[in-house]
Structure 1
Amino acid sequence: MNGALPDVPEVRVVGLPQLTSGFDLVERLDLGMHLKVHGPLEPIGGEQLAALAERISLKGRGGAGFPFAKKLRSVADSAIRRGVRPVVVVNGSEDEPACRKDTVLINRAPHLILDGALLAAEALGARTLVIGVTRDSTERSMQQALAERGLSNRRGSALRARVQRNPVRMVTGESSALIRSADGGPAMPPGRKVRASDSGVGGAPTLLSNAETFAQLAVAARIGADRYRNTGLQDEPGTVMLTVSGAVARPMVLEVPSGVPLRYVLQLAGAPPLPQGVLTGGYHGKWMDATAAHDAVVSRASMDAAGGALGAGAILPIGQDTCPLGEALLVAQWLAAESAGQCGPCYLGLPAAARGLEDILNGGGPAALEALRQITQAVKRRGACKHPDGSAAFIESTVSAFTDDLAAHVLGSGCGRPVQGVLPLQDEAAPTAGAGGGDTGPSGQRLAVDWTLCQGHGLCADIVPELIQLGPDGYPSVAEASVPRYSQARAVRAVRRCPALALRLEEDPSKPAARPSLPVLPPGRGRRALGSGRD
């Protein structure tokens, strides 16, 4: 249940391959095989490269869909105005459990990504290239690719290229988090909105796009805009990389021309003939019902019109034999745990939204539904990054898409179906040493309330509001809560300050930690086991 996808799942192609050319020959295209399959590539001037990106309607493939040509010109203008050399960053930080397309490309066709990045660097006059990754396999493959090209981070090099390794966390894939880590900081959003094209790595104008985007640019530069446009739709030409998982017989990554029916993609992966719903765009995406999924084609416009989202290319159907709200709750809880813990909408709002969805499932009635709607509205457009917005949108889409099940839980005794755990989630793992941002994972502890001692003073809710809230009676509304690492210090403080000694920290068997950094109290012991009680 909810098992993680492998780094490189099965790869299939509909039509003629472009990004996946050569995958039928070798597992990984080294530089020699890459040149045999794709051929050499000549540099292109800056305006020519921007014009090429415009002609093929190239948009970012990481989820936001921002026009690449506009981003390229913005970086060039900023660099010229300021008189500084820009930086090029490849975002290969594919940390969402339902996405593997970029990971597949980095592992199997790293030189195609480097081709696009080096084209952009040459056109802009950049002398620094950073490739952000989060996995052992992608780090190894990209380091090897740089070595095969003779690229390094040594001083005096015409182009200094390096791989930036970050922990596998949802927020590390956010552009500002990657830039911050490349500058030596933690892999978390900085909390201030600054365009990378104005000020990115080292304060320089920075062209940042995801791995597939650079690979698409490399393909178009080789075959030309006209031939590139012969594949797919007129308004969204070319191919699209998709990750299909959920209730399917064969989780896979597919390269398909835009315009392919979504139902055909689902059929290839062995999805149920009549899915209860299809989550599109990943865990910051939207649900489509079976009818909409049957009629839609793989394109941004078509899926948006059908109520879905292409996003980062994740497609996840669920069958009729599972509770869709229960499946969504597992994802909502995971999204809440992925918080960077540095802004209220994230570390307070997302756990509250997950608890609100849980209240609905537990028969909270119309009041619980209204409370959930208020929470999701309060979360949006107030975070330090897009994680709160995307997570709130996912919950809102869940509530809107499964109205019959929602009514059964809100007005009755539930839908009667079990939760199968068909949506993949990340395996819990300790962050890599030295990767930065290692305080955002599970601590392996839980904060527990001893009801025989609790007197309702409420200090705990003031100190750790992300873990404990007070109910209408003035007492904590939960008996125990898992403690993420970013809340450990506050959890210890809450234990120490409880006047009634009613709080304790215990081992959390559901979330083991590889490296516990704070003492764990055995059940039944109070604050004196931690010391004097002073902060």
Structure 2
Amino acid sequence: MTALAVRQIGPPRLTKGLESAGRLDWDAHRALHPHPRPLTTDQLIALCEAGSLHGRGGAAFPFARKVKATADSAVRRRKRTVVVVNGTEGEPGSAKDKTLLRGAPHLILDGAALAATALGSLEIIVAVTDPDAAASVQRAIAERGLGARARVVRLPERFITGEGGALVRGINGGRPIPPGRKSRASTRGVDGLPTLLSNAETYAQLAVLAGLGPHRYRKVGLPQEPGTVLLTVTGSARFPAVVETAAGAPLGHLLDLCGSRAGEGVLVGGYHGAWLKGEVATRTQVSRAGLAAAGGALGAGIVMPLGRGTCPLGECARVARYLAAESAGQCGPCRLGLPDLAGALTALASGQDAAAARDTVARAARMVTGRGACAHPDGTARFVLSAMDAFEDDIARHVADGGCGRPVLGVLPAATDARLSLEVDWSRCDGHGLCADVLRGTVRMDEYDYPVIPSEPIPARLEADARRAVAACPGLALRLVPRTAHDKPRPEPQRGR
């Protein structure tokens, strides 16, 4: 994602000095932020408890408990520890961590160094996918003279790369996908050592908390959720931005700042978050408790309003196909359930036997929930089911009229590492359907038993299956063509008026 403007509601903390979108070098950083004094493990835990610091990567786990678990594991196993900064930010709609890594890397390293000193860690590892973020952090490490005590690890840009187990596997030299079994980094993480793992904003918040002290830190925000919140506002916003605001601010104010209205719905928390109806979103406050009470989630700090010019169901179907393709493909819910869910939502969006497709969506979502090896199936099901609730009026139009009459403009980002697209020579296609059998959930059959080919390129993970589908076509009607750098999402026309 390209750099976004930085906006603030109230006095900035994390984004102080970033209004011009520049990078704060060591001297500029120290002019704005005090050097945190070293702490013992017990002092660090007490500080995080006093500041009610929670993780800002999505799960909102209390940071003090992570520190204690890592320290206890190190004592029990008689091992040294490692501190890991998760800066991968695989969510397509998120830029807050990249903004900090590119512009304020020293603030993140302040927090990481504070934790590493308290835990007596061997090293600090900053895991990223963005090349600009990597360069910025590497410069910061050199500016601070950390040498061998800190390093940057580049990992591939994928939705699941930032999952804790996947991240540890990637740092250890393996394929960065969830391990398929529950594991805690605090017990056995990088190189099998107890590992304190949290995302980039969390370490930056720790540095601010240490610099201000708990009393001053809690002067903004809510009693249960003190401090500021960093959010990425994109979607249909006229002025997309990374926004820092005190916890408890009205979501409607945030949308106004970025030149957007709630429209028919607002996605909060990212693609593992949930949709809020427009009228609900404008009455909601930006906080974990406020968003949860409205049926949403703060999650990864993503806010995506959806304007009225695009088809909501078509947008959600694009994202569902993206999420199905971005899975690790290790268990039944990901290999079979998510493609089925995406295929049913695509059929509903296109008006293809929409009433039956609506029922299939609900059934497929129930089938994947609670059965995956990681949280990806659950998060995808939550995204789809909340869309079914938020856009119920639009669904009724699709069922009654075969569509809503609006194109799919690609407002919601669903970029992949895809290199190839599928094309059909309709003069040769006889509707055998073998391509739909091989590419289940990606290619479907219409009411006339002809294949419906997605406008998006084929994800890299499915290239082998796509080649099998091409080879299996009896009429030689299907082919794979290279995707060029100039390809853009094609608007998908919807039937109905």
TM-score normalised over the length of structure 2? 0.90
Q: Is the 8 A contact 1:44 1:119 kept in 2?
A: yes
Matched pairs, number: 484
Query: What residue in structure 1 maps to residue 480 of structure 2?
Result: 507
| 1:135 to partner: Cα distance | 0.8
Q: 1:339 aligns with which of 327, 335, 341?
A: 327
Q: 2:251 aligns with which of 262, 268, 272?
A: 262
Q: 2:175 aligns with which of 183, 186, 203?
A: 186
Structure 2 distance, partners of 1:204, 1:215, is: 24
Query: What residue in structure 1 maps to residue 463 of structure 2?
Result: 488
Identical positions, percent: 49
Q: Is the 8 A contact 1:361 1:410 kept in 2?
A: no
| 1:342 to partner: Cα distance | 3.2
Q: Is the 8 A contact 1:85 1:126 kept in 2?
A: yes
State the secondary structure of the residue aligned to 1:234.
Answer: coil
Query: What residue in structure 2 maps to residue 350 of structure 1?
Result: 338
Structure 1 distance, partners of 2:33, 2:396, is: 54
State the secondary structure of the residue aligned to 2:244.
Answer: strand
| 1:239 to partner: Cα distance | 0.3
Q: Is the 8 A contact 1:183 1:202 kept in 2?
A: yes
Structure 1 distance, partners of 2:373, 2:300, is: 21
Structure 1 distance, partners of 2:272, 2:461, is: 23
Is residue 2:58 matched to residue 1:85? no
312-321 vs 486-495, greater mean Cα deviation: 486-495
When residues 466 and 402 of structure 1 are mapped into structure 2, their CA distance, relative to the original with a 3 A threshold, is: closer
Is residue 2:17 matched to residue 1:28? no
Structure 2 distance, partners of 1:291, 1:480, is: 32
Deviation track 1:380-399 (CA, whole Å, cap 9, x = no partner) reads 22333322221121111100
| 1:230 to partner: Cα distance | 0.7
| 1:283 to partner: Cα distance | 1.6
Deviation track 1:274-316 (CA, whole Å, cap 9, x = no partner) reads 5221111112111111222121111010111011211111111
When residues 180 and 451 of structure 1 are mapped into structure 2, their CA distance, relative to the original with a 3 A threshold, is: farther
Is residue 2:130 matched to residue 1:142? no
When residues 505 and 183 of structure 1 are mapped into structure 2, their CA distance, relative to the original with a 3 A threshold, is: farther
Q: 1:17 aligns with which of 3, 12, 22?
A: 12
1:109 partner amino acid: A
Q: Is the 8 A contact 1:448 1:480 kept in 2?
A: no
Is residue 2:305 matched to residue 1:313? no
**Pairing of 1:156-171 with structure 2 (within 5 A):** 159=149, 161-171=150-160
When residues 182 and 25 of structure 1 are mapped into structure 2, their CA distance, relative to the original with a 3 A threshold, is: same
Structure 1 distance, partners of 2:201, 2:37, is: 20
| 1:124 to partner: Cα distance | 1.1
Structure 1 distance, partners of 2:411, 2:317, is: 12
Is residue 2:34 matched to residue 1:59? no
Q: Is the 8 A contact 1:461 1:476 kept in 2?
A: no
State the secondary structure of the residue aligned to 2:402.
Answer: coil
Q: Is the 8 A contact 1:87 1:201 kept in 2?
A: yes
1:12 partner amino acid: R
Q: Is the 8 A contact 2:422 2:458 kept in 1?
A: yes
Query: What residue in structure 2 maps to residue 247 of structure 1?
Result: 236
State the secondary structure of the residue aligned to 1:243.
Answer: strand
Unpaired runs of at least 5, structure 1 = 154-158, 429-440, 515-535
Structure 2 distance, partners of 1:234, 1:453, is: 64
Q: Is the 8 A contact 2:433 2:451 kept in 1?
A: no
| 1:151 to partner: Cα distance | 1.9
Is residue 2:89 matched to residue 1:113? no
Deviation track 1:417-450 (CA, whole Å, cap 9, x = no partner) reads 3333322343x5xxxxxxxxxxxx3241538698
State the secondary structure of the residue aligned to 2:298.
Answer: coil
Query: What residue in structure 2 maps to residue 236 of structure 1?
Result: 225
State the secondary structure of the residue aligned to 1:224.
Answer: helix
State the secondary structure of the residue aligned to 1:284.
Answer: coil
State the secondary structure of the residue aligned to 2:22.
Answer: coil
1:250 partner amino acid: F
Q: Is the 8 A contact 2:444 2:453 kept in 1?
A: no
State the secondary structure of the residue aligned to 1:442.
Answer: coil
| 1:452 to partner: Cα distance | 6.1
Structure 1 distance, partners of 2:219, 2:476, is: 65
State the secondary structure of the residue aligned to 1:241.
Answer: strand
Deviation track 1:454-497 (CA, whole Å, cap 9, x = no partner) reads 79696x77766565679999x8865689643333344445655x
Query: What residue in structure 1 maps to residue 266 of structure 2?
Result: 278
Q: Is the 8 A contact 1:451 1:502 kept in 2?
A: no
Query: What residue in structure 1 maps to residue 491 of structure 2?
Result: none
| 1:505 to partner: Cα distance | 5.8
When residues 189 and 476 of structure 1 are mapped into structure 2, their CA distance, relative to the original with a 3 A threshold, is: farther
When residues 451 and 47 of structure 1 are mapped into structure 2, their CA distance, relative to the original with a 3 A threshold, is: farther
Structure 2 distance, partners of 1:457, 1:140, is: 48
State the secondary structure of the residue aligned to 2:232.
Answer: strand
Query: What residue in structure 1 maps to residue 493 of structure 2?
Result: none
Structure 1 distance, partners of 2:408, 2:389, is: 19
Query: What residue in structure 2 maps to residue 422 of structure 1?
Result: 411
Structure 1 distance, partners of 2:215, 2:481, is: 58
State the secondary structure of the residue aligned to 1:283.
Answer: coil
Query: What residue in structure 2 maps to residue 381 of structure 1?
Result: 370
Structure 1 distance, partners of 2:441, 2:347, is: 17
When residues 247 and 204 of structure 1 are mapped into structure 2, their CA distance, relative to the original with a 3 A threshold, is: same
| 1:242 to partner: Cα distance | 0.8
Structure 1 distance, partners of 2:196, 2:230, is: 22
Deviation track 1:119-152 (CA, whole Å, cap 9, x = no partner) reads 1111111112111111111011011011111123
Q: 1:41 aligns with which of 36, 41, 64?
A: 36
When residues 291 and 489 of structure 1 are mapped into structure 2, their CA distance, relative to the original with a 3 A threshold, is: closer
State the secondary structure of the residue aligned to 1:20.
Answer: coil
Structure 2 distance, partners of 1:418, 1:311, is: 29
Q: Is the 8 A contact 2:436 2:443 kept in 1?
A: yes
**Pairing of 1:285-324 with structure 2 (within 5 A):** 285-324=273-312
State the secondary structure of the residue aligned to 1:357.
Answer: helix
Query: What residue in structure 2 maps to residue 227 of structure 1?
Result: 216
Is residue 2:359 matched to residue 1:370? yes
Q: Is the 8 A contact 1:132 1:166 kept in 2?
A: yes
| 1:374 to partner: Cα distance | 1.2
| 1:51 to partner: Cα distance | 1.2
Q: Is the 8 A contact 2:341 2:441 kept in 1?
A: no
TM-score normalised over the length of structure 1? 0.84
Structure 1 distance, partners of 2:309, 2:450, is: 35
1:444 partner amino acid: L
Is residue 2:384 matched to residue 1:411? no
361-370 vs 171-180, greater mean Cα deviation: 361-370
